[in-house]
Structure 1
C-alpha cells in the first residue's frame, strides 16, 4: 500500500496549528459549537441510558443462548457505544457540512496565497443543498459496511477481530469524511475521492486513524472537527490538487 501513516498524522497536527489563524477563526467557531452541543447530548444519553440499552440488547437473545451472557454483555456494551458515537457523528456532520465546506475553501485559499474572500451568508446558503447531498452519499457508502461489521461482531470467535476491523473502518471513514470537503469544493466526484485516497491508502488511514482517536479524548474531541477539515485540506493541496505550485505554509 502506498503512502505513509506518519505523514497522515502530520496533516491533522498541522490542522490544529492553524485553528487560531485570524482569517479562519469565524469558520472554526460554528463546527466547534456544534460538536460541543452534540457530544454533550451523547454523553448525557450514555450516562442515563447505557445500562438500559445493553440490557435491552441482551433481552433479544433467545433463552437457550443465555449461557453466553457473560460474553455478550461486553460485546453489546461496545455496540451501544459505537452506535451512539456514529449516530451523533452523522448528525453533527450533516449540520456542520456547509460550514466545514467554507472552512476548507478558506484554508485552501490561504495555502495558495490567495486573498481571503468572505462571501457571508449568501455563499453558505448556496452551498447547503450540495453539502447535504454529499453527506447523504457518504452515509449510503458507510451504512452497509457498518451493518456488515455489526454482524461480524456478533459472530462467536470471529468477533474477536472486530475491534481491529472497527478501528480500520473508522479510520477509513474519517479520511473520506474530512477529505471530502476540499475535494467537493474542487468538484471531485465521490467515486474519484475514494480512488484518490486509495492511491495514498496508508497516509489516509494514518490521518483518519488519528482523527478517530482524537474523537474519544475529552476536550480534544471538541476541536477535532475543524482541525480535521483543515488537515484534510492541507492533505488535498499537497498530494492531490492538480496545481503543483501551491504555496504550502509549514507548521512548526
Structure 2
C-alpha cells in the first residue's frame, strides 16, 4: 500500500549527501556498465544540439546587429541576451528531452542498481529482459512527464516574448529547469516501484525548496561542457537516494546497508 501522507522534510545537509552519493555511485565500477549507453546517447544528442544552437545564434546575432542603428546597439545586446537565454533553455530542453526519452530504460536500470547498493533492496522484475518488455510503460511515463512540463514551458515562452515583462524570463527559465530536473531525475526510482506520478509529485512538493535546489544544481552542471556527460547518470543516482530518504522518513522502508546511507 502506498502512503500518501506528507513526506518529512529533507534537510540541506541530507541533500548534499544525496548529491555526493549520486556522483560516487555513477562513477563506481558497480554502476559503470549502466551509464555507457546513456553517455553515448548524450554525446550524440548534445553534439547535434550544440551545432544547431550555435549556428542559429550566430545567424541571429548578425541579423540583430545589422537591424539596429549604431546609437541603439545597446538594445541589440539586451535583445540578444533575452533571445539567447530563451533559445538555449528551449533548445537544450528539446534535445535533452529526446536524449532522456531514448535513455530512460537504461536510467531505470541504473536507478534500480543504485537502490540495491544504497539500501540492499531492489525493485521487482528489473532484469534487462524484463525492463525491455516494460519499455512501452516507461515511455508512457516519460510522455506523461513531458505533457506535465509542456504548459509551463509555453508559459515561460510567452513571457519571454512580451516586452518589459520578459526581463524576468531568464529567472523563470532557470526556476523551471530546476523544477523539471528535480521531477525528471527523482522519478526513475518511483517509476521502478510503479508509484503513481501524482504521488511522486506530492512527495517532492513537500520538499519543494530542497528539490528545487537539487534541480538547480543539476541544471547548472548540465550546462558545463564535458561535465554534462556524467551529470544525468549522477542525477539519477542522487534522485534515487532522495527517493530512499523520503520513503525512510515516511516509515515505508528501512535500509539494509546502513553504511551506504
Scaled by the length of structure 1, the TM-score of the pair is 0.86
Question: CA RMSD of the aligned region, Å?
Answer: 2.9
Residue 45 of structure 2: which of 35, 38, 43 is its match? 38
C-alpha deviation, 1:47, in angstroms: 2.9
Task: Report the Cα offset of residue 57 of structure 1.
Answer: 9.5
Q: CA 1:220 to 1:147, structure 2 compared with 1: closer, same or farther past 3 Å?
A: same
Count of paired positions: 246
The verdict on how the C-alpha distance between 1:56 and 1:82 changes in structure 2, with shifts beyond 3 A counting, is farther
2:194 to 187, 209, 216: 187
Instruction: Kindly indicate whether the alpha-carbon contact (under 8 Å) linking 2:179 and 2:211 is maintained by their aligned counterparts in 1.
Output: yes
Question: Which residue of 1 is the match for residue 185 of structure 2?
Answer: 178
Give the direction of change, closer, same or farther, for the CA distance of 1:121–1:140 in structure 2 (3 Å limit): same
Q: State the Cα deviation string for residues 54-111 of structure 1 (Å, max 9, x = none).
A: 67899xxxxxxxx965543322222221221111111011101100011111111222
Determine which of 186, 199, 204 is the counterpart of 2:206.
199
Name the structure 1 match of 2:3.
none
Whether 2:260 is the aligned partner of 1:245: answer no
Aligned to 2:139: 132
Which secondary structure does the structure 2 equivalent of 1:23 belong to? coil
Unaligned runs of 5+ in 2: 1-7, 66-73
Deviation of 1:248 after TM superposition, in Å, equals: 5.2
Bigger mean CA deviation after superposition, 218-227 or 154-163? 154-163
Q: TM-score, normalised by structure 2?
A: 0.83
Gapped regions of structure 1 (runs ≥ 5): 59-66
Show the 5 A alignment for 1:57-206.
71-114=78-121, 121-206=128-213
- The 2-side partners of 1:57 and 1:6 are apart by 46
